[in-house]
A and B are shown apart, each in its own frame.
Chain A
Amino acid sequence: MDALQFLVQGLSVALEPLNLFFAFFGCLIGTLVGVLPGIGPISGVALLIPVTATLTSGLPTEQAATSSIILLAGVYYGAMYGGSTTAILINTPGENSSVCTTLDGYQMAKQGRAGAALAVCAIGSFAAGLIACIGLVFMAVPLAEFALKFSPAGQFSLMILGLCALSSLAGKSQIKAFIMTTLGLILSTVGVDPISGVARLTFGYSELYSGIEFLTMAVGMFALGEVFKTILTNDYATGELIKVGKVMPTRQDLKDSAVPILRGSLLGFFQGLIPGCGATLSSFMAYTVEKKLSKNKANFGKGAIEGVAAPEAANNGAAGGAMIPLLTLGIPGTGTTAVLMGALIMFNITPGPLLFQDHPQVAWGLIASMIVGNFMLLILNLPLVKVFAKVIETPPKYLIPGIVAISVFGVYAVQVSVFNLFLMIGSGLAAYYLAKNDYPIAPLVLSLILGPMIENNLRRAMNLYNGDYSMFVRDPISLIFLMIAVLWVAIPAVMKLRGKKVIVEEGV
């Protein structure tokens, strides 16, 4: 098998001592990020980009990129593990995708079965992570090779589809989401135009000639925006911490949760493939499915172990699944993968169909490290869950100013400019007020990243076709993408008009 050969190569990269350490460090930080309320996977990844850039500064580019992305991805899926700990022990989800886990997890904890719930979460997360990795191994190359056949018109339409998909499901109002998408695209045009050399929308600020720095915006909007919200709403975890007790689940627990874990993993994985359907959405879906299929429906909401196992598996499956469109098509489907993509671009590596050809070390090293990382997380989480539970008690007094100080350090260390600090503060303020009024942040950051590529493909296509816009509907692949994009936007809108409730990916 070709894929297995590549995987072995990837493993040799992932098992290098430095990368092994990075994967471990990423998983550890990720778990902490998941456990600590007030800091989610997006802000965690954004905050760690400057740290990894520093740690890898002496390495050659490709190696630096590999190690960094291994660490950052570790934070991403590690946070999915950690989020369940707070959900179960204090009834407060550590991040959005663990909302469902609170329903039955906290009830289990109240009945003295916290340990079993936590263990099932860890096992479910592990199984889902592994399933997602296997899917990644076998789907990545065929998908990337297929994507290479797209014409520039097709590539342009695919990006439009990605934007539409994320925007139509983000937040309560499609119009607001699209306003944010458009704003992000406009922001992405700031700077010197690479083709004509004209400075656009820079208003004389020389700091803006190279464009608005993605890292500054991501840290400002996600990390600072979240901190501002926490301070203003006084939203700290205040719940009483429940004792963990015995960690090992009973044989009956394992038997009850095996099938839900499998179902949740697969559901999450396939949902993760679809841009815009992130971890939150798939965990809700998995919970609903389990409730429908269960023989004792009455038990749900009162501490059913299936209600903990399935959503936790689903959110990890989705996190892994979301890596596929990111790596093979260059389309990030969630806020966190958008930030990961920004990080790769910072290292001069563009995710997309060519990634597997041009930088197999990065792609396969990452995939293999995700498998290794999932084992680490399982080992880390089962015995150490009591230690992580202690982390919940970190006083917000130190945590909140600490996050602000790390944001300032991160942005200043990478950009060395006070201008960027103010840009960060400004975007943090804007993000708080916008997000509070249902203007979602993720589409803005996503389109900020995709903007230059969209413009590039558009121009390439137009030069090729002599400015003939009809190519976008004459090229069959491009036409299909555009049609899906239209449907994607139209169907939720029609459903809303007919009074149906549409579940949206909240928060991110």
Chain B
Amino acid sequence: MNKTFDRYVSVVFLVLGVAIYIYSQTLTVSNVGIAIGPKALPSFLSVILIILSAVNLVVAIRSTTHDKKEEKLEYKKFLIILVSLVLYALLIEPLGYVITTFLFLLIGFQTMEKGKYLQSVIIAAAFAVGIYYFYVEVFLGVLPPLPF
């Protein structure tokens, strides 16, 4: 169990709770004929969140168990995939579904394990074109088309 994470996340939730509480008070509505207005539930929930995160914070601070050693994580692979995923989402509309999906898959395959380039290219292309064809041509769905 990671106590440092618990501390940080409790503080984040605590701040979030306070922010939501303040925000809900700014909702202005007439309450005529309505027993419970739109701000009642968010206000109530934010108070609960504040209480729970405060308790969690206290538990985390008072806990005496030490953090377990971080296991070795594959940050490099993860970051490459995450960045390509963000680019994928950004470019899917300007470049179209087929091109971005093909590129994302190719990068993904090679990041997971290098080699077998031809096989990677074929699978990535088949996936991108196949999904696009079936979804758009057969089921008449909407996906961003090729840019040209």
Interface positions of A (Cβ within 8 A of B): 54-55, 57, 172-173, 175-176, 178-179, 182-183, 185-186, 189, 193, 195-196, 198, 200-201, 228, 231-234, 395-398, 400-402, 404-405, 408-409, 412-413, 416, 418, 421-422, 425, 429, 433-434, 436-439, 455, 458-459, 462-463, 465-467
**What are the residues of chain A within 8 A of B101 when measuring CB–CB?**
405, 408-409
Report, as a range, how many residues of chain B touch the other chain.
Answer: 35 or more
Select which of B24, B46, B55, B73 is within 8 A of A175 by beta carbon. B55
Given contacts A196-B29, A232-B77, A405-B105, 15 further A-B pairs with CB under 8 A are: A57-B140, A175-B55, A178-B52, A179-B49, A189-B41, A195-B34, A198-B29, A404-B85, A409-B135, A413-B135, A425-B85, A437-B2, A437-B5, A459-B34, A462-B35
Does B118 make an interface contact (CB < 8 A)?
Answer: no
A433 touches B85 (CB 8 A): no
Docked complex Cα distance between A55 and B135 (Å) = 9
Main secondary structure of the interface of B (DSSP, over half): helix
Given contacts A228-B78, A455-B41, A466-B35, contact A425 B52 (CB under 8 A): no
**What are the residues of chain B within 8 A of A396 when measuring CB–CB?**
112-113
Closest residue of A by beta carbon distance from B24: A200
Select which of A200, A397, A416, A455 is within 8 A of B142 by beta carbon. A416
Closest residue of A by beta carbon distance from B48: A182
Select which of A176, A412, A455 is within 8 A of B143 by beta carbon. A412
**What are the residues of chain A within 8 A of B82 when measuring CB–CB?**
228, 425, 429
A175 touches B52 (CB 8 A): yes
Given contacts A55-B139, A182-B45, contact A201 B1 (CB under 8 A): no
A231 touches B77 (CB 8 A): yes
Docked complex Cα distance between A398 and B113 (Å) = 9
The minimal Cβ–Cβ distance linking B86 to chain A, given in whole angstroms, is 6
A463 touches B34 (CB 8 A): yes
B53 touches A179 (CB 8 A): yes
Docked complex Cα distance between A185 and B9 (Å) = 18
B23 touches A201 (CB 8 A): yes
Docked complex Cα distance between A108 and B125 (Å) = 42
Docked complex Cα distance between A210 and B42 (Å) = 17
Mask: chain B, 78-101; 1 = CB below 8 Å from A; 0 = not: 100110011011101100010001
Interface positions of B (Cβ within 8 A of A): 1-2, 5-6, 9, 13, 20, 23-24, 27, 29, 34-39, 41-42, 45-46, 48-49, 52-53, 55-56, 59, 71, 73-75, 77-78, 81-82, 85-86, 88-90, 92-93, 97, 101, 104-105, 107-109, 111-113, 123, 127, 131, 135, 139-143
The minimal Cβ–Cβ distance linking A442 to chain B, given in whole angstroms, is 17
Closest residue of A by beta carbon distance from B88: A408
**What are the residues of chain B within 8 A of A397 when measuring CB–CB?**
109, 112-113
A182 touches B52 (CB 8 A): yes
Docked complex Cα distance between A409 and B128 (Å) = 10
29 A-B residue pairs with CB within 8 Å:
A54-B139, A175-B55, A179-B13, A179-B49, A179-B53, A182-B45, A182-B52, A186-B45, A189-B45, A193-B38, A200-B24, A201-B23, A231-B112, A232-B75, A232-B78, A234-B74, A397-B109, A398-B109, A401-B81, A401-B108, A404-B108, A412-B92, A412-B143, A416-B142, A421-B89, A422-B86, A425-B85, A437-B5, A463-B35
A57 touches B139 (CB 8 A): yes
Main secondary structure of the interface of A (DSSP, over half): helix
Closest residue of A by beta carbon distance from B31: A196
Docked complex Cα distance between A395 and B141 (Å) = 30
The minimal Cβ–Cβ distance linking B52 to chain A, given in whole angstroms, is 5
Select which of B42, B92, B108, B140 is within 8 A of A201 by beta carbon. B42
Given contacts A183-B13, A231-B78, A467-B36, contact A201 B5 (CB under 8 A): no
Docked complex Cα distance between A409 and B111 (Å) = 20
**What are the residues of chain B within 8 A of A405 when measuring CB–CB?**
101, 104-105, 108, 127
Select which of B77, B89, B143 is within 8 A of A425 by beta carbon. B89
A459 touches B36 (CB 8 A): yes
Given contacts A231-B77, A413-B143, contact A401 B48 (CB under 8 A): no
Docked complex Cα distance between A148 and B135 (Å) = 41
Select which of B6, B45, B108 is within 8 A of A437 by beta carbon. B6
Select which of A54, A172, A193, A466 is within 8 A of B135 by beta carbon. A54
Docked complex Cα distance between A114 and B113 (Å) = 31
Docked complex Cα distance between A38 and B50 (Å) = 35
Most buried by B among A179, A396, A433: A179
**What are the residues of chain A within 8 A of B34 when measuring CB–CB?**
195-196, 459, 463
B42 touches A189 (CB 8 A): yes
Docked complex Cα distance between A175 and B9 (Å) = 13
**What are the residues of chain A within 8 A of B59 when measuring CB–CB?**
173, 175
The minimal Cβ–Cβ distance linking A414 to chain B, given in whole angstroms, is 9
**What are the residues of chain A within 8 A of B74 when measuring CB–CB?**
231-234
**What are the residues of chain B within 8 A of A231 when measuring CB–CB?**
74, 77-78, 81, 112
Given contacts A175-B55, A183-B13, A231-B74, contact A401 B1 (CB under 8 A): no
B20 touches A201 (CB 8 A): yes
The minimal Cβ–Cβ distance linking B125 to chain A, given in whole angstroms, is 12
**What are the residues of chain B within 8 A of A172 when measuring CB–CB?**
1
**What are the residues of chain A within 8 A of B39 when measuring CB–CB?**
200
**What are the residues of chain B within 8 A of A463 when measuring CB–CB?**
34-36
B113 touches A409 (CB 8 A): no
Give me the 9 closest cross-chain CB pairs, A-B, nearest first.
Answer: A401-B108, A462-B35, A193-B38, A421-B89, A467-B35, A397-B113, A397-B112, A232-B73, A437-B5
